[in-house]
Amino acid sequence: MIARRGAVPIEERSLFAEYPFLAGAGALLGDETVSVRQLILDPAYDRARAIGRARVLAAVDDPRGSRDLTELTEASGDVRFLSFLYARLLLSSGPTPAALRRWAVAEAKRFHARLTNVPVDELVEVARRLGYSLDPHDGTVDLPLVQYLALAVPIREGEFRLAQQAVGHGRVTLGRVRAARLLQEAVRLELATPTPVVADVVRLVREREAELLDEVARRTPVPVARSGVPGQALHPEWFPPCVRKMQRTLEAGENLSHAGRFALAAFLHRVGADFETIVDAYRGAPDFDESITRYQVEHITQHDGGRGYAVPECDTLRSHGLCARDGDPGAPREVDRLRDDRCFDPKLRHPLQYYRWKGGREVERGEAEPGDRATSTAGPSTRDEPARSRSTGSR
Ligand code: SF4
């Protein structure tokens, strides 16, 4: 059952209609009781399902959540709520979590657009229902330091660095705009967590929505090799653990350091990924900006007459905390959770060596090509620091 009986006060009703992810939003359905199976099968919920599908497809095409969904804005509160539940159910039942994370980023950005324009009281109430204690004070709000850090760490804009905050008595004082941005992050975290779905329901959703899930997979970019790279297709299955972890971090909509962003773009370019594939790798980033990312990827890949910047060596990646050879316990796939013995071979010095080695070539000491030494750790996709100002060595 996803809804229960009970009246809901009018002000709470409008809050739930705007923020269907808040606990208790099921009360929007009033006396109606809707089961998961009804939501999936009952013709009475055709419209909610159609809008739910539209929400999913909009997120795939527009991870910045900037496109208006007319059918969503015109729908009643209960239909919006059910469409939200259906979208979440679809993506929690899908074959990979990547689409759910991408949807979480897009939906969180959509909610952010509203949060920037609402009265402080509404910000405080949404935060409270998400488990954050935002307190208003004379036009500002403050948040416990520990909660601030939990939300601000994935945000790369410089203005969120702790050193730039007004901190006192264990709380951080914020203007409304920053508070809204932090709440966007809280919403993203909430939505990126898959809803537990029993196996029978997963099967039912996959049967009923096979076409949509295929469409989502089709529209989710797959890695493509650029034309003119001699004799090779792109082989993501040969990527080393560090690069796979960088990709997962971005797909999850989490922060990846400058050094990681740089290394990922440089690596993808050197193994032959085309420009669009490299840009797509950053779409899940919490601060993704299409034009800045394009500019920065171009900067990295067009260096040295199109050869691109060198990929940092393993020692450099390790010093930046980017090596993942011990395994990533939080990774969804077993292969990513396990230690990779190849990476402990003393002859392995460079992620490109790993790639070639996995592809069947012998690993030789120093196989990394001349010039495969990093001269920059600037990475794509930040709004506040152009790549040209960050092309400085970190070694
Ligand atoms: S040892 Fe090198 S290739 Fe392997 S995960 Fe670490 S940095 Fe990457």
Taking a C-beta distance cutoff of 8 angstroms, is the pair 134, 185 a contact?
A: no
What pTM was computed for the model? 0.60
Question: Probe ligand 1: pick from 262, 316, 325, 342, max atoms within 8 Å of CB?
Answer: 325
Asked if the structure places residue 1 within a domain, the reply is no
Question: Does the Cβ of 351 fall within 6 Å of ligand 1?
Answer: yes
Could you tell me if 279 and 381 lie in one domain?
yes
Could you tell me if 120 and 71 lie in one domain?
no
Question: Does the Cβ of 363 fall within 6 Å of ligand 1?
Answer: no
Please classify residue 119 by burial: count the beta carbons closer than 10 Å to its beta carbon, then call 0-12 exposed, 13-18 middle and 19+ buried: exposed
What is the reported pLDDT for 127?
Answer: 93
What is the reported pLDDT for 230?
Answer: 55
What residue numbers bound the domain in which 145 lies? 114-190
Confidence of residue 340 (pLDDT cuts 50, 70, 90): very high
Gap between the Cα atoms of 287 and 253, Å rounded: 9
Asked if the structure places residue 138 within a domain, the reply is yes
Could you tell me if 181 and 201 lie in one domain?
no
220 Cα to the center of ligand 1, angstroms = 27
Asked if the structure places residue 105 within a domain, the reply is no
Residue 341 has pLDDT above 90, yes or no: yes
Could you tell me if 267 and 203 lie in one domain?
no
Question: Does the Cβ of 352 fall within 6 Å of ligand 1?
Answer: no
245 Cα to the center of ligand 1, angstroms = 11
Comparing 360 with 120, which gets the higher pLDDT? 120
Comparing 373 with 291, which gets the higher pLDDT? 291
What is the reported pLDDT for 372?
Answer: 47
Confidence of residue 231 (pLDDT cuts 50, 70, 90): low
pLDDT digits (tens, 9 = 90+) for 150-164: 888 767 667 888 888
247 Cα to the center of ligand 1, angstroms = 14
Question: Does the Cβ of 52 fall within 6 Å of ligand 1?
Answer: no
318 Cα to the center of ligand 1, angstroms = 8
What is the reported pLDDT for 23?
Answer: 78
Could you tell me if 386 and 341 lie in one domain?
yes
Comparing 132 with 214, which gets the higher pLDDT? 132
Q: How many domains does the chain have?
A: 3
Please classify residue 395 by burial: count the beta carbons closer than 10 Å to its beta carbon, then call 0-12 exposed, 13-18 middle and 19+ buried: exposed
* Ligand 1 atom nearest residue 349's Cα: 2
Question: Average pLDDT of 183-188?
Answer: 90
Could you tell me if 375 and 249 lie in one domain?
yes
What is the reported pLDDT for 294?
Answer: 82
Taking a C-beta distance cutoff of 8 angstroms, is the pair 164, 158 a contact?
A: yes
- Residue 59: which of 26, 94, 32 has the closest Cα? 94
Question: Average pLDDT of 256-271?
Answer: 94
Could you tell me if 292 and 308 lie in one domain?
yes
Asked if the structure places residue 106 within a domain, the reply is no
Could you tell me if 269 and 315 lie in one domain?
yes
Comparing 9 with 387, which gets the higher pLDDT? 9
314 Cα to the center of ligand 1, angstroms = 5
Question: Does the Cβ of 59 fall within 6 Å of ligand 1?
Answer: no
Could you tell me if 73 and 120 lie in one domain?
no
pLDDT digits (tens, 9 = 90+) for 193-224: 778 888 888 899 999 999 998 888 777 655 55
Asked if the structure places residue 260 within a domain, the reply is yes
Could you tell me if 340 and 375 lie in one domain?
yes
Asked if the structure places residue 302 within a domain, the reply is yes
pLDDT digits (tens, 9 = 90+) for 102-116: 788 888 888 888 888
Domain end among 164, 181, 216: 216
Domain end among 216, 251, 280: 216
Comparing 248 with 155, which gets the higher pLDDT? 248
Sheet holding 135-137, edge to edge: 135-137, 140-144, 171-174, 166-168
Dihedral sign, Cα of residue 287, residue 288, residue 290, residue 293? positive
Could you tell me if 206 and 186 lie in one domain?
no
pLDDT digits (tens, 9 = 90+) for 353-390: 999 998 877 655 544 554 444 444 445 543 433 333 33
Asked if the structure places residue 109 within a domain, the reply is no
Residue 242 has pLDDT above 80, yes or no: yes
Asked if the structure places residue 55 within a domain, the reply is yes
Question: Does the Cβ of 204 fall within 6 Å of ligand 1?
Answer: no
270 Cα to the center of ligand 1, angstroms = 16
Residue 254 has pLDDT above 90, yes or no: no
Question: Does the Cβ of 314 fall within 6 Å of ligand 1?
Answer: yes
Could you tell me if 283 and 373 lie in one domain?
yes
Question: Does the Cβ of 354 fall within 6 Å of ligand 1?
Answer: yes
Question: Average pLDDT of 166-183?
Answer: 92
- Measured by CA distance, the residue closest to atom 3 of ligand 1 is 351
Q: In the predicted model, what is the mean pLDDT of the chain?
A: 80
Q: What percent of the chain lies above the pLDDT cut of 70?
A: 79
